[in-house]
């Protein structure tokens, strides 16, 4: 009897095993530099927001430059490491359990490879200009900018800068070795008009490509968790995956873009769920899917001190995900904690994602309902 | 001897009227078609002030390409030396790969500086 129950006992252990990430191929020599994926962890404590950002891009690593609007001069630090993101990913990613489908159970144990999370996005080919060849020169006035902060942190050098005119700011950045994408002026200007500053970050000249690591930004903000996707649109791959975790006193959801629902009925494998996501997001108005919203005690720090501290300081974590084309990045999603929001489990059993369904309840469900039912059928 | 002195003075004064390019910094030597790079140009003249000048840039031809040449008016300065910024970009069907350019500064009197060679690589 005990032996017959063993598969049900082992299953949760397999499900929560850390996923093996092998996505190291972001540094190809192709140009242009494009953001291939974005993973951000937000924590809001009072008027202080902390954003942990893991940067993925494709392109020439020496051209790497990351520019993000910030409401105030941020404290920029490194040393977060990829492990925190991987631990969150492995514990909150959606898993479809179909007890009658052995292939689905086997898939639960499969590591999350790049294919699962690339979103199918590929940089589009260069647009070849076939017009008459032309050399263009223009006299550029000396840019008038305010430098709020210029520092070196780990492998990066960064500057926090503001200006009246985006053209001044972008010229200053270009003159100082930050690669600014053509067409950024109107979007940068809209941030400047809101009184925001820009944080620009690039690799130090002596740093190697392997030194790319997540950054932690801490800043004063009354806005909370706003993801500056409009600026991302300047240089993003099509169908770019965006994953956001929000730590707070309760579940979180976007307040200015739709919360997208996925039709779960009929889904039997995690792969089917992943395939259904992009279409659901397009149909749902390019919003975000809440894939996990649970009390933090259901997660473990998995040995990462930063994640352990986040779990200790906050009551809930919410995972939200979207796939967006650059032209769909027209709004900066604002994620806010709301105690009235339901809990959401990442475990989908037979097409049902019920609030509060955890690994423990999923296991109990398998043990007491599914396996006995299968045994009865076999008899 | 006196004639030689006069000749040297004349030559010297003739040279001194031409602007000089003292340095050029290019922000990006790998440039995509349509992307702008910036040149920070330090120019000087021995005259008391630098009148508005013209910068002429020539993309030297490769294969059967015609040379591309463009000019831009630079702001004047009350100083004998000035730092100016020029935005440089390419459009259309320009031959890609390593390319050479010459930069010349021409003052309001038509005197030309020596050509300053530049190299960059054009990519799609």
Tokens of A309: 């501290």
Write out the H or E segment, with its range, that includes residue A32. Answer: none
The alpha-carbon gap from A328 to the nearest alpha carbon of chain B, in Å, equals 23
Q: Is there a single domain that holds both residue A21 and residue A143?
A: yes
Measured CA to CA in angstroms, residue A310 lies from A79, A82, A109, A328, B18 at distances of 15, 15, 27, 31, 66
Tens digit of each residue's pLDDT (9 = 90 or more) over A19-70: 222 122 222 223 345 566 778 999 988 888 999 988 776 555 556 678 889 9
Q: Which residues of B touch A179 (CB under 8 A)?
A: 28
Q: Is there a single domain that holds both residue A18 and residue A131?
A: yes
Q: Is there a single domain that holds both residue A278 and residue A378?
A: yes
> What is the spatial distance between Cα A243 and Cα A124, in angstroms, rounded to a whole number?
22
Q: Is there a single domain that holds both residue A152 and residue A111?
A: no
pTM for this model (two decimals):
0.73
Closest by Cβ to A126, choosing from B57, B70, B124: B124
In a domain, residue A253? The reply is: yes
Q: Is there a single domain that holds both residue A188 and residue A94?
A: no
Return all residues near B47 (Cβ < 8 A) that are at least 6 apart: B16, B17, B80
Q: Is there a single domain that holds both residue A137 and residue A66?
A: yes
Strands A288-295 and A259-260: parallel
Tens digit of each residue's pLDDT (9 = 90 or more) over B40-51: 999 887 765 566
> What is the spatial distance between Cα A43 and Cα A90, in angstroms, rounded to a whole number?
19
A303: containing domain = 83-118+248-379
Tens digit of each residue's pLDDT (9 = 90 or more) over A203-236: 888 877 666 788 999 998 887 788 888 888 877 7
Q: Do the chains contact at A174 and B36, CB–CB below 8 Å?
A: yes
SS (H, E, C) B23-56: EEEECCCEEECCCCEEEEEEEECCCCCECCEEEE
Q: Do the chains contact at B92 and A129, CB–CB below 8 Å?
A: yes
pLDDT, position A153: 92
Tens digit of each residue's pLDDT (9 = 90 or more) over A334-365: 999 999 999 999 988 867 775 444 444 445 44
Question: Which residue from A minimizes the CA distance to B85?
Answer: A140
pLDDT, position B80: 64
Q: Which residues of B touch A126 (CB under 8 A)?
A: 32, 124
Task: Using a CB–CB cutoff of 8 Å, tell me whether A170 touches chain B.
Answer: no
Domain ends where: A214, A237, A260?
A237
Strands A48-58 and A215-220: antiparallel
> What is the spatial distance between Cα A106 and Cα A379, in angstroms, rounded to a whole number?
25
In a domain, residue A70? The reply is: yes
Give the pLDDT mean for A117-143: 64
| Mutate which: A140, A172, A181, A205, vs B, most B CBs within 10 A | A140
Which has the higher per-residue pLDDT, A32 or A268? A268
CB A216 within 8 A of CB A55: no
In a domain, residue A31? The reply is: yes
Q: Is there a single domain that holds both residue A317 and residue A343?
A: yes
Alpha helices for chain B (secondary structure H) = 2-16
Tens digit of each residue's pLDDT (9 = 90 or more) over A234-265: 777 788 889 999 999 999 999 999 999 888 88
Q: What is the mean pLDDT of chain A?
A: 76
In a domain, residue A185? The reply is: yes
Q: Is there a single domain that holds both residue A252 and residue A349?
A: yes
Task: Using a CB–CB cutoff of 8 Å, tell me whether A132 touches chain B.
Answer: yes
Q: Is there a single domain that holds both residue A89 and residue A209?
A: no
Q: Which residues of A touch B120 (CB under 8 A)?
A: none
pLDDT, position A14: 25
- Confidence check: pLDDT of A7 > 80: no
Residue A16's pLDDT band, with cuts at 50, 70 and 90, is very low
Q: Which residues of A touch B59 (CB under 8 A)?
A: 135
Q: Which residues of A touch B34 (CB under 8 A)?
A: 129, 182
In a domain, residue A242? The reply is: no
Report chain B's terminal Cα–Cα distance, integer Å. Answer: 61
In a domain, residue A358? The reply is: yes
Q: Is there a single domain that holds both residue A96 and residue A123?
A: no
Task: Please give the radius of gyration of chain A, using alpha carbons only, rounded to the nearest integer.
Answer: 23
CB A11 within 8 A of CB A105: yes
Q: Is there a single domain that holds both residue A263 and residue A126?
A: no
pLDDT, position A132: 87
Q: Do the chains contact at B86 and A139, CB–CB below 8 Å?
A: yes
The residues facing A293 across adjacent strands are A318, A344
Tokens of A222: 């009354």
Number of domains in chain A: 2
- Confidence check: pLDDT of A5 > 60: no
- Confidence check: pLDDT of B17 > 80: no
Angle at B54 between CA B51 and CA B56, to 5 degrees: 155
Total beta-carbon pairs less than 8 A apart between chain A and chain B: 92
Give the pLDDT mean for B59-85: 82
Asked if the peptide bond before residue A32 counts as cis, ω within 30 degrees of 0, the response is yes
Write out the H or E segment, with its range, that includes residue A173. Answer: helix A166-175
Domain ends where: A211, A237, A263?
A237
Give the pLDDT mean for B87-94: 91
> What is the spatial distance between Cα A310 and Cα A288, in angstroms, rounded to a whole number?
23
Q: Is there a single domain that holds both residue A261 and residue A124?
A: no
Contacting A residues, span 39-68, partner chain B, CB-CB under 8 Å: 60, 63
Nearest partner of A247 among A172, A335, A324, judged by Cα? A335
In a domain, residue A243? The reply is: no
Domain ends where: A178, A206, A237?
A237
In a domain, residue A301? The reply is: yes
Matching residue, tokens 């910094």: B25
Question: What ipTM was reported for this prediction?
Answer: 0.82
Which has the higher per-residue pLDDT, B14 or A277? A277
CB B98 within 8 A of CB B8: no
Strands A225-226 and A334-337: antiparallel
Q: Which residues of A touch B50 (CB under 8 A)?
A: none
Angle between helices A305-313 and A83-92 (to 10 degrees): 60
Measured CA to CA in angstroms, residue A377 lies from A5, A373, B84 at distances of 16, 6, 84
The alpha-carbon gap from B25 to the nearest alpha carbon of chain A, in Å, equals 9
The fraction of chain A above a pLDDT of 90, given in percent, is 37
């Amino acid at each position: 009897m005990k032996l017959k129950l063993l598969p049900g006992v082992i299953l949760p252990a397999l499900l929560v095993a850390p996923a093996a990430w092998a996505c190291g191929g972001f540094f190809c020599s192709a140009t242009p530099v494009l953001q291939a994926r974005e993973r951000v962890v937000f924590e809001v404590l009072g008027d202080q927001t902390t954003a942990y950002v893991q940067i993925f891009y494709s392109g020439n690593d020496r051209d790497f430059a990351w520019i993000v609007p910030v409401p105030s001069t941020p404290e920029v630090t490194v040393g977060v490491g990829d492990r925190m993101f991987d631990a969150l990913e492995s514990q909150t990613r959606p898993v479809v359990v179909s007890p009658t489908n052995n292939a689905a159970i086997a898939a639960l144990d499969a590591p999350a490879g790049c294919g699962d999370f690339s979103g199918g996005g590929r940089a589009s080919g260069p647009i070849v200009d076939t017009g008459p060849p032309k050399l263009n020169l223009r006299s550029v006035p000396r840019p008038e900018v305010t430098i709020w902060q210029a520092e070196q942190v780990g492998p990066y050098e960064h500057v926090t800068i503001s200006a009246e005119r985006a053209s001044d700011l972008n010229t200053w950045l270009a003159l100082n070795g930050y690669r600014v994408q053509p067409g950024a002026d109107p979007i940068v200007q809209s941030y400047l008009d809101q009184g925001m500053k820009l944080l620009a970050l690039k690799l130090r000249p002596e740093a190697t490509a392997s030194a790319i690591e997540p950054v932690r930004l801490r800043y004063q903000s009354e806005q909370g968790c706003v993801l500056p996707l409009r600026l991302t649109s300047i240089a993003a791959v099509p169908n770019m995956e965006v994953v956001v975790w929000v730590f707070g006193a309760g579940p979180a959801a976007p307040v200015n873009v739709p919360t997208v629902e996925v039709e779960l009925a009929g889904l039997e494998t995690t792969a089917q769920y992943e395939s259904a996501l992009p279409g659901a997001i397009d149909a749902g108005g390019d919003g975000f899917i809440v894939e996990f919203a649970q009390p933090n005690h259901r997660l473990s720090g998995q040995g990462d001190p930063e994640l352990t501290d986040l779990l200790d300081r906050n009551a809930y974590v919410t995972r939200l995900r979207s796939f967006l084309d650059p032209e769909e990045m027209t709004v900066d999603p604002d994620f806010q904690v709301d105690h009235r929001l339901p809990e959401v489990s990442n475990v989908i059993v037979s097409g049902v994602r019920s609030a509060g369904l955890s690994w423990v309840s999923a296991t109990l469900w398998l043990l007491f309902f599914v396996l006995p039912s299968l045994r009865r059928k076999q008899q | 001897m006196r004639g030689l002195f006069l000749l040297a003075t004349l030559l010297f004064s003739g040279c001194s009227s031409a602007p000089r390019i003292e340095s050029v910094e290019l922000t990006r030597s790998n440039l995509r078609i349509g992307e702008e790079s910036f040149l920070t140009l330090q120019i000087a003249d021995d005259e008391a002030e630098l009148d508005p000048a013209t910068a002429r840039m020539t993309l030297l031809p490769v294969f059967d390409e015609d040379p591309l040449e463009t000019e831009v008016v630079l702001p004047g300065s009350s100083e004998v030396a000035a730092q100016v910024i020029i935005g440089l970009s390419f459009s259309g069907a320009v031959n890609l790969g390593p390319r050479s350019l010459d930069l010349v500064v021409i003052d309001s009197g038509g005197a030309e500086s020596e050509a300053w060679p530049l190299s960059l690589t054009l990519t799609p």
